[in-house]
Structure 1
Amino acid sequence: MASADPKAIAVEGLWKNNPALVQLLGLCPLLGVSNSVVNAIGLGFATLIVLTCSNLAVSLIRNHVTEAIRLPAFVMIIAAFTSCVELLMQAFTYELYQILGLFIPLIVTNCTVLGRADAFASKHSPLPSMLDGIMMGTGFALVLILLGAVREAIGQGTLFANMHLLFGSIAENWTITLIADYKKFLFAVLPPGAFVFMGFFIAIKNLIDAHQAAKASKEVATGSKRVRVTGQIS
């Protein structure tokens, strides 16, 4: 059973077991709509809400469903919260909802959401389950937003374009033009570009993990050597 320690849950969701960088789950929506920051924030926030609420609901019913209907019940819960998010987006961010299209209802089939419901929420109490949903959802959303920012910057030469689609008229002037008269780089905003940039992100994370592991091993070896030397002197 996964640890219910808050610090461990946070580290797992944000780094060690990040859904996008480690588990490689939910790649279809992640790569499909991450061509701008506003799209990434919209989908990331929607996934975060569904993941958190689903984890809480699954945790609350975990002792009241039989093994035979466990997974169908989880799917129904996820579908219900996805429908709520979809209706809210239709009501308040309709233009963004139209841009994201099928990727909002497809949150139901996101393996990250069902995976956390089955692997964590069905085995833990509500508070750790909610925290797990928040951290896993945040980890997924951060990767999505970072990918969206890189693709928008390289592909269009801007950042935070069309943010009014999500935040309203207050965000109409949030666009940052990085290069004036930029010749758009189409590859970056198409799905193949998303695969390439995602590969770079995964490689960078693996390099950081390898460096930290080597550093930890070196510290352990140094500590053991000091203990041996101290013992010989004594």
Structure 2
Amino acid sequence: MALFSKQNREALIEPLNANNPIMVQVLGICSSLAVTSQLKPAIVMGLAVTVITAFSNVIISLIRKTIPNRIRIIVQLVVVAALVTIVSQILKAFVYDVSVQLSVYVGLIITNCILMGRLEAFAMMNKPWPSFLDGIGNGLGYAMILVIVGAVREFLGRGSLLGFTILPQGLYDCGYMNNGMMTMPAMALILLGCVIWVHRAFFQKEEKK
């Protein structure tokens, strides 16, 4: 099988749009609401989930034929927990401030619905390379939504992106004020709902055509 056959390309590309884990499958909602008050933690969380999903898919795919069916979920959790621990320690070593912002949500990747769903639905039935691409695709699809919501919330709520002020001081001198509601958890839910609504409305329109 070619490395980038049609099936492999679909495994990588479909989760970015047509089968996005958040917009279509409505998975991973809790963490996507919790870590998107600013863009930087949203990016780091998205990358962490992508790396863990990709490599856990590969590991489970490699050992899938040796895992007894009765304990497959336990084995999957052990693999994911090991990878989450490694990623958590790397974040603490290199981006400690972000790891503090992410708090317990890095540890909760262990129970992320997207990750566990891909292990059970894809990695257990496919070879390592397609499983790796599937993990990358679903991780990036998840990260993409986090980045969109995080960027909008930080820009409108703080007037900055990645901690750098974007809006000129003159705008504030004219009376502009940052929207403090954007920093509140409720706005994450509203923005995410808008993203899902726009996505589904667009694709429903395309399908009707």
TM-score (norm 2): 0.92
Q: Report whether the alignment pairs 1:49 with 2:38.
A: no
The separation in 2 between residues aligned to 1:120 and 1:178, in whole angstroms, is 45
Q: Report whether the alignment pairs 1:178 with 2:167.
A: yes
Q: Report whether the alignment pairs 1:190 with 2:184.
A: yes
Alignment map for 1:79-228 (pairs within 5 Å): 79-161=81-163, 175-180=164-169, 181=172, 182-215=176-209
Q: Per-residue displacement from partner, 1:67-116 (whole Å, max 9, x unpaired)?
A: 11111000110111000000101111111111110011110011100100
How far did residue 31 of structure 1 move? 0.4
Match of 2:70 among 68, 73, 83: 68
How far did residue 176 of structure 1 move? 4.2
Which amino acid is the alignment partner of residue 22 of structure 2? A
Runs of 4+ in structure 1 off by over 6 angstroms are none
The separation in 2 between residues aligned to 1:90 and 1:183, in whole angstroms, is 34
Which amino acid is the alignment partner of residue 167 of structure 2? L
The separation in 2 between residues aligned to 1:38 and 1:148, in whole angstroms, is 8
The separation in 1 between residues aligned to 2:142 and 2:135, in whole angstroms, is 10
Q: Per-residue displacement from partner, 1:176-215 (whole Å, max 9, x unpaired)?
A: 4125335232211111000100011001101110121122
The separation in 2 between residues aligned to 1:179 and 1:43, in whole angstroms, is 29
Which amino acid is the alignment partner of residue 143 of structure 2? A
* Equivalent residue, structure 2, for 1:232: none
The separation in 1 between residues aligned to 2:29 and 2:201, in whole angstroms, is 21
The separation in 2 between residues aligned to 1:212 and 1:105, in whole angstroms, is 39
The separation in 2 between residues aligned to 1:12 and 1:62, in whole angstroms, is 24
How far did residue 155 of structure 1 move? 0.9
Which amino acid is the alignment partner of residue 135 of structure 1? G
The separation in 1 between residues aligned to 2:168 and 2:70, in whole angstroms, is 58
TM-score (norm 1): 0.82
The separation in 2 between residues aligned to 1:178 and 1:60, in whole angstroms, is 50
The separation in 1 between residues aligned to 2:39 and 2:57, in whole angstroms, is 26
How far did residue 24 of structure 1 move? 1.2
Q: Per-residue displacement from partner, 1:22-52 (whole Å, max 9, x unpaired)?
A: 1111111110010111010011111111101
**Structure with greater contact order relative to length (CA < 8 Å, sep ≥ 6):** 2
The separation in 2 between residues aligned to 1:64 and 1:49, in whole angstroms, is 24
Preserved CA contact (<8 Å) 1:90 1:97: yes
- 1:63 is paired with a residue of what secondary structure? helix
RMSD of Structure 2 on Structure 1 (CA): 1.4
Q: For the pair shown, which has the larger CA radius of gyration, 1 or 2?
A: 1
Q: Which runs of 5+ in 2 are unaligned?
A: none
Which amino acid is the alignment partner of residue 132 of structure 1? D
